[in-house]
Amino acid sequence: MPTSLKENKIGIFMLLLIIAYGFSIAVKMIWVYQFQETPEFYWNNALMINTNDGYYYAEGARDTLSGSHQQNDLSPVDTPLSQLTALLAYILPFSFETIILWMPALFGSLIVVPVLLISRVLKQERAGFIAALLAGITVSYYNRTMVGYYDTDMLTVVLPALVLWSLIFNLQEQKNRFLLLIPVLIIAYSWWYGQSYSLNLAMAVTVLLYTLIFERHNLFNYKILVFMLIALSIFPWYYKLVAALALFLAFHYIQKANSREFVFGLLGAAILLVLLTGGLSPVLYQIKGYILREGYGEGVETLKLHFFSVNQTVREAGQIPFETFANRISGHTVTFLFSLVGYILLTMRYRVMLLALPMLGLGFIAMQGGLRFTVYAVPVMALGMGYFLLYVSELLSRLVFPKASEHLKRLFLVLAIFAVLYPNISHVIDYRVPTVFTTQEVEILDKLGTIADREDYVVTWWDFGYPIRYYSDVKTLVDGGKHTGKVNFPVSFALTHPPAESANMARMDVEYTERSFKERFSSNIIEAMKDYNATDINSFIAALGSKDFTPPQATRNIYFYLPMRMMNIFPTVALFSNIDLTSGQQKERSFFYASTGFKDAGAMLHLGNGVALEKEKGIITIGEQKIPLAKFITVEYDNSGTLVKQVQKIHHEGALNIIYMRSYNQFLLLDDKMLNSLYIQLFVLEEYDPDLFEAVILDPHAKVFKLKI
């Protein structure tokens, strides 16, 4: 190929890449345009991020930049995303908040690179360009790489897509000089995402099957497998890289290294090495957790205790309907079906695209394993869509409009591309995800950081764990990654039981958590039972409310963070401690109903969903049930910001209570157990024993109390 023509093709390819990348960024900017005039979403003059997990990596990056962090504070200073963020924050002239805000969009949009590279190998650049436009903004991929979605997802699809390209490229080129691309990209993917092993192994198996079926006499394909298996071994990345480099040089400069005997000997040794180092264990672990629903150690037996599984409450780990599945992968069910047909047609013409089956299959596991997996199918299905549109365009040109001008063909493609992109762009416009916290909430956490010491603990639900650690620089008992049943139980108990019991549970859990870092016992509760000479778990827990119970000696302060936003998930919080630990059976659930869509109709107060109050009689109607009301409590803030309460006792034998939170324009209908819970008593009513608690921050958005025992 003449140099000028080759350079021209490279120039066109780079132009297509820049346009596709710019388009992806431009669409992701919609979220910024929507909220740039919303002051309550800003902190330090930058929009805040919109994913809780992002604060985990932000904490690690912050501590990396500062050069220190507290022992056992769980700060992820060694994670790739935290290290990369710290590096960028160190060398770039932007604020830390700006960097973590924009990283997802800038890195996530790099998906256009492997998509276009694969299309270039197949000499289908036009199809690749269409695919690149679609891949960067498809529903599921947008959701996990939008501006503000600071998480590892920004590269968890880009890197395996690059691995796929390196395999397709090497199978097409059949040249030793490109082999090093494979282990380098696999090692990079493994470094970035610790759970990448299963997909990488599936790709290796697919290459093996592809070779045995279609090219079993092709020695080069077995070289590819050797490099893949070296990268898959459990040894440190630098050992694997050195081994891959040594083998790469051997293939170049030692003739005997290219013999069948040598290559097959290496292949056998590499397979044996992977198997002996637990090659299938990570795969089985993933299958058990996401497909067989066995749940990552949650809800399993710890000695003789059973805990509630967090997987039962996480939407990402649940099954999804087909329409949702199709929409998340392609934007629309019709687009999904056409993309699937396109992928089949593409594979029929270029059988090397069979190597994309592991990514496609992992994406399709979402039907059973949960919506988080759909992103893996996005680039493959996008390529299918791009090829399908060109295929149909050519078919129409030959059979329907044989004399049509090139302008008409281009018009068809433009309209078709717009039709494919439109549902995804509509989703982007409608997907108005707020920031994790508002400015007012962050101000509370920032203030807490000036009050609490870095060794102090904050007790709250795991949804708020990462942001609290980032903004307040304290320790937490649970967070977005540490929320198995056995660690959730005591926190749930401390939030949903009477304050005296909650205080003892919180102190006990904090002190035993600190001890467990050194002593490595499996369960705080079981270890505490041993120390208190208790043999029955139910009796031991009941004793927490006794005045005779002596909690462990305090070694640090404990704070309760009680936000208004916990109200919506409070019944779910209660599930984790509303369980018989000896049998694993759920106890009778407490009654809790929150209503903001109420209607006052004079004699009746309608709270929605068939729930109403007969005012004169003080009777609650729930469907066909008639239940006497025990108390009607009104709480509101006066002009000075002080909470004012009014309590009306209605029926002595009443089973339910109503709290009217006038300042929040919200009603709560709840039984006595929920009414007496720590969260309701301290946050809603500000009722507490001064010997047990001290009010530190009293703000309508969130309240912080210090434990005094």
What is the pLDDT averaged over residues 263-289? 75
How many whole angstroms separate alpha carbon 369 and alpha carbon 483?
19
Lowest mean pLDDT among 35-49, 85-99, 252-266, 288-302: 288-302
Specify the amino acid at residue 395.
Answer: L
Instruction: Provide the CB-side half-sphere exposure for 619 (13 A, CA).
Output: 10
Q: Are strands 46-47 and 301-302 parallel, antiparallel or unpaired?
A: unpaired
Per the prediction, the chain carries an average pLDDT of 91
Mean pLDDT score, 473-480: 95
Q: By percentage, how much of the chain surpasses pLDDT 90?
A: 78
Q: For residue 302, is pLDDT > 50?
A: no
Tokens found for residue 673: 């157990």
Kindly state the average pLDDT of the residues 166-187: 96
- Mean pLDDT for the stretch of residues 428-441: 97
What is the pTM for the complete model shown? 0.90
Q: What is the pLDDT of residue 295?
A: 42
- Taking the C-alpha atoms of residue 267 and residue 226, their distance in angstroms, rounded to an integer, is 5
Which residues lie across from 223 on neighbouring strands?
Answer: none
CA 124 to chain CA mean position, Å: 34
Dump the DSSP string for 513-567.
HHHHHHH--S-HHHHHHHHTT---HHHHHHGGGSTT--PPPP-S-EEEEEEGGGG
Token readout for 653 is 């034998």
72: left (phi over 0), alpha (psi -120 to 50) or beta: left
Rounded CA separation 418/429 (Å): 16
111-115, 221-225, 564-568, 583-587: segment of lowest average pLDDT: 583-587
Mean pLDDT of 533-561: 93
Phi, psi at residue 456, to the nearest 5°? Answer: -75, 160
Asked if 425 and 27 touch (Cβ cutoff 8 Å), the reply is: yes
C-beta of residue 672 within 8 angstroms of C-beta of residue 498: no
Structure tokens at 172: 């097409």
Each domain of the chain, given as residue ranges in start order, spans 13-430, 439-575, 592-707
Give 315's DSSP letter: G
The first and second tokens of residue 478, run together, are: 């649970």
Across-strand partners of 694?
A: 706
The pLDDT of residue 200 is above 60:
yes
Q: For tokens 């309240």, name the residue.
A: 703
Among 20-34, 54-68, 177-191, 396-410, the range scoring the smallest mean pLDDT is 396-410
Q: Render pLDDT for 682-696 as a digit per residue (tens, 0 to 9).
A: 999 999 999 999 999
**pLDDT for res 408:** 74
Higher pLDDT, 220 or 273: 220
Question: Which amino acid would we find at residue 310?
Answer: V
Least confident of 18-32, 50-64, 360-374, 559-573: 360-374
Between 148-162, 292-306, 394-408, the lowest mean confidence (pLDDT) is in 292-306
How far apart, in whole angstroms, are the C-alpha atoms of residue 649 and residue 393?
75
For residue 355, give the nearest of 217, 129, 227, 199 by alpha carbon: 199
pLDDT of residue 63: 95
Mean pLDDT of 48-67: 96
Q: What's residue 300's pLDDT?
A: 38
DSSP 684: I
Please report which confidence band the pLDDT of residue 400 belongs to, taking 50, 70 and 90 as the band edges. Answer: low
Predicted local confidence at residue 170, as pLDDT: 97
pLDDT at res. 41: 97
CB 684 within 8 A of CB 659: yes
Question: Exposed e or buried b for every residue in 538-556, given b needs 16+ CB within 10 A?
Answer: eebbeebbeeeeebbeeee
Place of tokens 């407490």: 590
- What is d(CA 385, CA 342) in angstroms, rounded to the nearest whole number? 6
For 520-581, where are the alpha helices, taking DSSP H only?
524-531, 537-542, 570-575
CA 578 – CA 706 distance, rounded (Å): 25
Q: What pLDDT is attached to residue 298?
A: 42
CB 696 within 8 A of CB 517: no
End-to-end CA distance of the chain: 80
What would the mean pLDDT of 378-404 be, rounded to a whole number?
86
Query: What are the C-alpha distances in Å from 107 to residues 61, 102, 651?
Result: 17, 9, 61
Rounded to an integer, what is the distance from CA 647 to the centroid of its chain? 43
Largest distance between two CA atoms of the chain: 97
| CA atoms of 266 and 581, how far apart (whole Å) | 52
pLDDT band for position 312 (cuts 50, 70, 90): low
* Residue 293 scores a pLDDT above 60: no
Confidence of residue 142 (pLDDT cuts 50, 70, 90): very high
The CATH code for residues 439-575 is 3.40.1380.40
- The confidence score (pLDDT) of residue 301 equals 41
H helix intervals, 193-332: 197-214, 219-232, 237-253, 260-276, 281-290, 322-330
Q: Tell me whether residue 7 is exposed, middle or buried, using C-beta atoms within 10 angstroms of its C-beta: 0 to 12, 13 to 18, 19 or more.
A: exposed
561 - beta bridge partners?
A: 704
Residue 318 is classified by DSSP as: S
Report the pLDDT averaged over residues 203-225.
96
pLDDT band at 333 (very low <50, low <70, confident <90, very high): very high
Residues in contact with 591: Cβ distance below 8 Å, sequence separation at least 6, in sequence order: 656, 669, 670, 671, 674
Taking a C-beta distance cutoff of 8 angstroms, is the pair 546, 498 a contact? no
Kindly indicate the confidence band of residue 47, based on its pLDDT and cuts at 50, 70 and 90: very high
The mean pLDDT of 412-437, rounded to a whole number, is: 96
Residue 455 pLDDT > 60:
yes
Q: For 575-631, what is each residue's pLDDT tens digit?
A: 999 998 888 888 999 999 999 988 988 889 999 999 999 999 999 999 889 999 999
pLDDT tens string 644-667: 999 999 999 999 999 999 999 999
Q: How far apart are CA 671 and CA 590, in angstroms?
A: 7
Interatomic CA distance for residues 52 and 140, integer angstroms:
18
Alpha helices in 146-196 (DSSP H): 153-156, 158-173, 181-192
Cα distances (angstroms) measured from residue 707 to each of 29, 140, 519, 556: 44, 43, 25, 10
- Model confidence at 509, pLDDT cuts 50, 70, 90, reads very high
Number of residues assigned to the chain: 709
Residue 402 CA: distances (Å) to CA of 396, 413, 416, 429: 8, 16, 19, 39
* Per-residue tokens: 112: 């256009």
Amino acid identity of 274? Answer: V
Amino acid 3: pLDDT: 64
% of the chain surpassing 70 pLDDT = 92
Q: Is the pLDDT of residue 268 over 50?
A: yes
Which strand (E) or helix (H) includes residue 470? Answer: helix 465-472
Chain-centre distance for alpha carbon 325: 17
Residue 443 confidence (pLDDT) above 80:
yes
Strand pairing partners for 401?
A: none
Q: Does position 705 have pLDDT exceeding 90, yes or no?
A: yes
Q: Which amino acid belongs to residue 706? A: K
Measured CA to CA, the distance from residue 503 to residue 510 in angstroms comes to 11
Look at residue 131 and tell me whether its pLDDT is greater than 70: yes
Tell me the three state secondary structure of residue 524. Answer: helix
- d(C-alpha 146, C-alpha 345), whole Å: 31
Q: How far is CA 702 from the centre of its chain?
A: 25
